């Protein structure tokens, strides 16, 4: 089970990871975009972080809804609406929940990915966050079918996400600003894929207990 407190912790940890890697994300975006991904994400998750205390007692769906609204209103660029959609879909499949089973987690990850695909129209191999989120969902689903628990399923999913992230390096970008570069987008890791990997890794770290935030009671 992933508890409501762990969800808050995850958002807090993700926000601090983004802050810590702000320059790196911006450098990745400088190579194939407009050098603002770290700035965009840090602005949004600083805002999320600042409102976490006010939503501490809410159910998981309400928390995700607030995160979504905050990101949509504060993060510019392509990534704001895409992450906003991810959290909005996560909210819609967790109505009223105070904790998540492994199946709930699968539904959440699947719904978030579907939202990003519907919104951004990227396919696997287009060099976007989809190339990180999609293998994670596929691997998580396989683990669930093999009766693995949340921690083990997340470990496998994060490993698949990391591989998916590395696989973006040789890809030619077909969506977003990086696609304007054509062949020159080859040889660089996708910035949005990198932040998506951090998002999943932060969730794993909180759920397996290797990383805690000040929200741990
Ligand atoms: P912008 O490109 O508008 O400056 P960001 O720099 O914040 O926005 O985010 C860029 C990231 O957004 C890319 O690295 C990519 O992962 C993701 N992205 C861009 N367009 C799409 C899309 N259509 N579908 C999925 N992800 C996308
Ligand atoms: Mg950018």
C-alpha of residue 52 to centroid of ligand 1, in Å: 25
pLDDT tens per residue across all 217 residues of the chain: 999 999 999 999 999 999 999 999 999 999 999 999 999 999 999 999 999 999 989 999 999 999 999 999 999 889 999 999 999 999 999 999 999 999 999 999 999 999 999 999 999 999 999 999 999 999 999 999 999 999 999 999 999 999 999 999 999 999 999 999 999 999 999 999 999 999 999 999 999 998 876 655 4
CA-closest residue to ligand 1 atom 5: 37
Q: What is residue 215's predicted lDDT score, i.e. its pLDDT?
A: 54
C-alpha of residue 30 to centroid of ligand 2, in Å: 8
The token pair that represents 134 in the structure block: 């999609």
C-alpha of residue 36 to centroid of ligand 1, in Å: 10
- Distances in whole angstroms, Cα of residue 201 to Cα of each of 89, 97, 133, 179, 207: 20, 22, 11, 27, 10
| Residue ranges lining ligand 1, Cβ < 6 Å | 29, 33-34, 36-37, 40, 77-79, 82, 116, 120-122, 128-130, 175-177, 190-193
Give me the half-sphere count of Cα atoms (radius 13 Å) on the Cβ side of residue 39.
10
CA-closest residue to ligand 1 atom 1: 77
DSSP, collapsed to helix, strand or coil, labels residue 194 as helix
pTM, two decimal places: 0.97
Ligand 1 pocket test, candidate residues 72, 78, 191, most atoms within 8 A of CB? 78
Contacts of 54 (CB under 8 A, 6+ apart): none
Q: How far apart are CA 59 and CA 171, in angstroms?
A: 39
CA-closest residue to ligand 1 atom 22: 120
């Amino acid at each position: 089970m992933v508890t409501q407190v762990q969800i808050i912790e995850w958002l807090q940890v993700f926000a601090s990871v983004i802050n810590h890697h702000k320059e790196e994300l911006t450098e990745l975006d400088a190579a194939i975009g407009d050098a603002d991904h770290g700035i965009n994400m840090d602005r949004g998750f600083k805002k999320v972080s600042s409102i976490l205390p006010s939503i501490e007692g809410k159910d998981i769906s309400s928390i995700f809804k607030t995160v979504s609204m905050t990101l949509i209103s504060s993060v510019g660029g392509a990534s704001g609406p895409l992450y906003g959609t991810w959290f909005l879909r996560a909210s819609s499949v967790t109505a009223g929940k105070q904790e998540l089973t492994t199946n709930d987690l699968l539904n959440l990850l699947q719904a978030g990915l579907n939202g990003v695909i519907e919104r951004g129209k990227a396919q696997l191999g287009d060099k976007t966050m989809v190339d990180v989120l999609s293998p994670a969902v596929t691997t998580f689903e396989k683990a669930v079918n093999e009766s693995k628990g949340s921690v083990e399923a997340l470990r496998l999913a994060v490993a698949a996400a990391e591989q998916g992230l590395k696989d973006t390096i040789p890809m030619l970008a077909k969506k977003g600003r990086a696609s304007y570069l054509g062949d020159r987008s080859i040889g660089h890791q996708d910035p949005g894929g990198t932040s998506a990997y951090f998002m999943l890794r932060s969730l794993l770290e909180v759920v397996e207990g290797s990383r805690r935030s000040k929200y741990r009671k």
